């Protein structure tokens, strides 16, 4: 039952619709490799990397991923992801059956497999690094099995290295693992020559073969240099551009430590330390070296905690199995039942997407593509332009497409040979100082566009859901040198007013006011935030009337859409449309929305109507919902003063002094209260 629950939990966690940004340039390169018959040595997909040397260490993974996409569609990529990570879990479970003796030991190591899955789940992504997790696990299991039974399966290690080194540059960890077990055997043989131990010659031969297969890669010795380059992407020495990536943030960053995966990582660290202490009577120097090294790697960045999980889980299983566990049958059954129930509950939460909703994550269980993540409508618009603007011969030079978002790989794959994006996720091949300068200039659009001048970009895609793009969005919209030719829920497309774009601009005028009445609004689209994205786009471009029309349509379909209700009520109050604002608040409240801003707006509206008791009741509700908001307490104090309730006012002024002692309204509140107090 526990193994079945573990397997179901794994599949619920690993099968997630495609929402990866890097997958797309891997698919584009896989397609190019199959079309040309050779692995690229220079970049041909992006503007910033055009012609720069590129060592594609992921080519075999890219071919496999594109093969799956070509045969079954990109939506089948989660199945490839499940196969790779599933192989890791199968190796853990098989390793468990090989080393665990007795029901108690099997229960314990199965629980360790569950912890390992939870720790590894942080990196359940369709990326080449999955092969590194598989390679680390496979080599450790092979060497541990040989250490225990002198198994001939050890000679599969060179085959693992061949696949690994052609999929991901961290294959060098395989050499370290092989060397650790060989060194341990040499040390043990030297210290206790008469001790029974597996033959050392196969270890020498296997390690030599792992090194001998290194030339079986298309890059030769340069591949080792690329592996060393990856070491510069993490830690304090990394470029600020790299440190800005969430996956490379500090292991102990606040956003990381609150996750289930981090808790599982901590459990594995504790289990590894406990296992080394418990087996100290006969220490394994290979295990100590591997665990210490991978633990240090896990401290260099958030993503490397999964790397520690791949190495630690089989080693902790082996150490736990060497201890004399004795559990009473009733206690054993109780523990197993509790874990099965907990896994079943979490599996249901994952399959129903409740887990992701509770975390505020845009993810969805299953196969397919998470369409709302990508600018699909914009790409469809560009595909429909034939020939593309400014290009009389579609087979000639691709058109430069400006953008500053993570969709470069998506553009490269979806718009092959017609448009060339500014950059994609392969930041190691671009001038990182230049890319960092572009990012820093986004708040100053004229300077940003000047930096892009050498690339002759006359089409620019703005992902308007990203705050750092908003200054550029507003600038291009109001700059007479540019025209908005397409607007969608994810991105807006601007064309510069040059001769090549004259027909495009004339044929595709955009009227956001008219678009407000045509935005598709359904409960499903509202749940995916699509109409809200349209509304925010219109607000950011200053088209407030159009935005309010979209907001009204959203609330007509989903009255409980809290953020839209807050926005519409606030705008209506600012415009003086008080009855309509109160009606919006009433509908939202009846729909079960509990919102401090809405309650505060309701209090203001009642005060304007002279209904102080209703205003006080609404403000009391707002403060109860957000008790640490000093501004709400300030307004509550003003209401109490208007009602002549000095005790209530004094209580709220004290709350303001406690929560916001620097509030500029505090002296005036105290001054208004003082004349009414008795000497």
246-262 confidence digits (pLDDT tens): 677 778 887 778 888 89
The tokens for 249 are: 């943030």
pLDDT at 503: 92
User: Which comes out higher in pLDDT, residue 669 or 547?
Assistant: 547
Which residues make Cβ contacts (< 8 Å) with residue 337, sequence separation at least 6?
none
| Phi, psi values for residue 241, rounded to 5° | -60, -45
Measured between alpha carbons, how far is 573 from 620 in angstroms, rounded to an integer?
20
- Work out the end-to-end distance of the chain between its first and last CA atoms, rounded to an integer number of angstroms: 76
Token look-up 């970009």 returns 457
pLDDT at 122: 86
Alpha helices in 166-284 (DSSP H): 172-191, 201-212, 222-230, 240-243, 254-257, 260-278
User: H-helix or E-strand containing 606?
Assistant: helix 596-608
Cα–Cα distances in Å, from 66 out to 19, 270, 535, 591? 16, 40, 36, 47
Listed residue (59, 335, 44, 89) closest to 219, CA to CA = 59
Measured between alpha carbons, how far is 294 from 238 in angstroms, rounded to an integer?
19
For residues 362-387, give the mean pLDDT: 90
Residue 677 pLDDT > 60? no
Residue 194 pLDDT > 70? no
**C-alpha dihedral (168, 170, 172, 177), degrees to nearest 10:** -110
619 close to 635: Cβ distance less than 8 angstroms: yes
pLDDT at 644: 87
Query: What percent of the chain has pLDDT above 90?
Result: 71
In this predicted model, what pLDDT tens digit does every residue of 469-487 receive, in sequence order? 999 999 999 999 999 999 9
Least confident of 250-254, 305-309, 596-600, 654-658: 250-254
Residue 26 pLDDT > 80? yes
The tokens for 134 are: 């598989």
CA triple 622-623-626, angle to 5 deg: 90
In this predicted model, what pLDDT tens digit does every residue of 377-431 receive, in sequence order? 999 999 998 665 554 454 567 899 999 999 999 999 999 888 999 999 998 889 9
Measured between alpha carbons, how far is 33 from 46 in angstroms, rounded to an integer?
16
CA triple 106-82-362, angle to 5 deg: 110
| Phi, psi values for residue 124, rounded to 5° | -75, 80
Looking at the chain, the number of H-run helices and the number of E-run strands are 34, 5
453-456 contacts: CB < 8 A, separation 24 or more? 455/47, 455/48, 455/400, 455/402, 455/422, 456/400
The tokens for 376 are: 């699909």
Token look-up 């950011």 returns 540
User: Computed from CA positions of residues 125, 128, 132, 135, in that sequence, does the dihedral angle turn out positive or negative?
Assistant: positive
Measured between alpha carbons, how far is 556 from 574 in angstroms, rounded to an integer?
21
Task: Give the SS3 label for residue 275.
Answer: helix
Measured between alpha carbons, how far is 54 from 43 in angstroms, rounded to an integer?
6
Q: How many residues does the chain have?
A: 679
Work out the mean pLDDT of the chain and round it to a whole number: 90
pLDDT band at 100, cuts 50/70/90? low
Domains of the chain: 2-17+78-350 (no CATH), 374-510 (3.40.190)
Measured between alpha carbons, how far is 545 from 13 in angstroms, rounded to an integer?
43
pLDDT at 195: 56
Measured between alpha carbons, how far is 674 from 24 in angstroms, rounded to an integer?
67
Least confident of 24-38, 95-109, 204-218, 518-532: 95-109
Measured between alpha carbons, how far is 502 from 484 in angstroms, rounded to an integer?
12
Residue 359 pLDDT > 90? no
Q: Where are the beta strands (DSSP E) in 591-640?
A: none
* Full-model pTM: 0.89
| Phi, psi values for residue 595, rounded to 5° | -130, 120
Number of other residues whose CB lies within 10 A of the CB of residue 71? 8
Residue 104 pLDDT > 80? no
CA triple 71-87-366, angle to 5 deg: 55
Task: Give the SS3 label for residue 460.
Answer: strand
Least confident of 11-20, 151-160, 296-305, 390-399: 390-399
Number of other residues whose CB lies within 10 A of the CB of residue 664? 8
Measured between alpha carbons, how far is 109 from 99 in angstroms, rounded to an integer?
9
Measured between alpha carbons, how far is 284 from 393 in angstroms, rounded to an integer?
66
**Exposed, middle or buried: residue 678 (CB in 10 Å: 0-12, 13-18, 19+)?**
exposed
pLDDT at 236: 66
For residues 190-199, give the mean pLDDT: 64
In this predicted model, what pLDDT tens digit does every residue of 122-145 receive, in sequence order? 899 999 999 999 999 999 999 999
The tokens for 71 are: 């045969």
Listed residue (84, 125, 86, 129) closest to 304, CA to CA = 129
Residue 103 pLDDT > 80? no
């Amino acid at each position: 039952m526990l193994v079945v629950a573990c397997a179901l939990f794994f599949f619920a966690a690993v099968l997630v619709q495609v929402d990866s940004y890097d997958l797309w340039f891997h698919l584009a390169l896989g397609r190019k490799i199959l079309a040309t018959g050779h692995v690229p040595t220079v970049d041909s997909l992006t503007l910033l990397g055009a012609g720069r040397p590129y060592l594609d260490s992921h080519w075999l993974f890219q071919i496999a991923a594109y093969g799956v996409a070509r045969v079954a569609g990109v939506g089948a990529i989660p199945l490839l992801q499940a196969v790779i990570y599933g192989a890791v879990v199968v190796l853990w479970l098989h390793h468990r059956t090989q080393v665990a003796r007795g029901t108690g030991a099997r229960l314990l190591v199965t629980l360790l497999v569950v912890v390992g899955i939870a720790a590894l789940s942080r990196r359940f992504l369709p990326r080449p690094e999955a092969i590194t997790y598989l390679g680390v696990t496979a080599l450790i299991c092979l060497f541990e099995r040989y250490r225990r039974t002198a198994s001939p399966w050890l000679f599969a290690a060179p085959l693992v290295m061949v696949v690994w080194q052609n999929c991901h540059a961290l294959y060098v960890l395989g050499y370290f693992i092989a060397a650790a077990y060989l060194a341990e055997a040499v040390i043990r043989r030297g210290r206790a020559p008469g001790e029974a131990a597996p033959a050392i010659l196969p270890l020498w031969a296997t390690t030599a073969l792992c090194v001998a297969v290194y030339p079986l890669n298309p890059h030769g010795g340069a591949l080792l240099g690329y592996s060393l380059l990856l070491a510069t992407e993490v830690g304090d020495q990394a470029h600020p551009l790299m440190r800005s990536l969430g996956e490379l943030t500090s292991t102990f960053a606040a956003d990381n430590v609150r996750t289930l995966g981090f808790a599982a990582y901590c459990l594995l660290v504790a289990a590894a330390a406990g296992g080394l202490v418990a087996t100290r009577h006969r220490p394994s120097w290979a295990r100590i070296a591997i665990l210490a090294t991978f633990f240090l790697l896990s401290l260099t960045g958030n993503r490397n905690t999964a790397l520690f999980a791949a190495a630690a889980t089989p080693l902790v299983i082996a150490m736990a199995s060497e201890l004399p566990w004795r559990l009473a049958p009733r206690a054993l059954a109780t523990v197993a039942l509790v874990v099965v129930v907990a896994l079943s509950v979490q599996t249901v939460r994952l399959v129903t997407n409740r887990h992701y909703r509770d975390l505020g994550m845009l993810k969805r269980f299953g196969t397919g593509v998470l369409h709302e993540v990508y600018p699909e409508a914009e790409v469809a618009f560009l595909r429909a332009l034939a020939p593309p603007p400014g290009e009389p011969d579609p087979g000639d030079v691709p058109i430069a497409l400006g953008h500053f978002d993570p969709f470069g790989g998506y553009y490269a794959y979806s718009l092959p040979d017609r448009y060339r994006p500014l950059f994609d996720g392969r930041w190691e091949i671009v001038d990182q100082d230049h890319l960092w300068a572009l990012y820093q200039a986004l708040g100053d659009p004229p300077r940003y566009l000047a930096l892009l001048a050498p690339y002759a970009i006359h089409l620019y895609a703005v992902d308007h859901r990203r705050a750092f793009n908003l200054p550029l969005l507003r600038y291009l919209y109001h700059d007479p040198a540019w025209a908005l030719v397409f607007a969608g829920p994810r991105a807006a497309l601007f064309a510069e007013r040059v001769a090549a774009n004259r027909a495009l601009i004339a044929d595709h005028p955009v009227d956001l006011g008219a678009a407000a009445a045509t935005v598709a609004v359904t409960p499903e689209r509202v749940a995916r935030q699509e109409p809200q994205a349209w509304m925010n786009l219109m607000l950011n471009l200053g088209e407030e009337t159009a935005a309010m029309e979209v907001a009204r349509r959203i609330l007509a379909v989903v009255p409980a859409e809290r953020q839209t209700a807050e926005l519409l009520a606030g705008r209506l109050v600012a415009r003086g449309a008080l009855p309509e604002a109160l009606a919006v608040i009433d509908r939202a409240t009846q729909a079960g929305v509990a919102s401090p801003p809405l309650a505060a707006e309701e209090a203001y509206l009642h005060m304007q109507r002279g209904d102080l008791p209703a205003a006080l009741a609404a403000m009391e509700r707002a403060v109860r919902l957000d008790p640490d908001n000093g501004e709400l307490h300030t307004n509550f104090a003003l209401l109490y003063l208007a009602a002549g309730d000095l005790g209530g006012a004094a209580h709220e002024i004290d709350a303001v002094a406690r929560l916001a002692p620097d509030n500029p309204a505090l002296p005036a509140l105290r001054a208004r209260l003082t004349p009414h107090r008795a000497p």
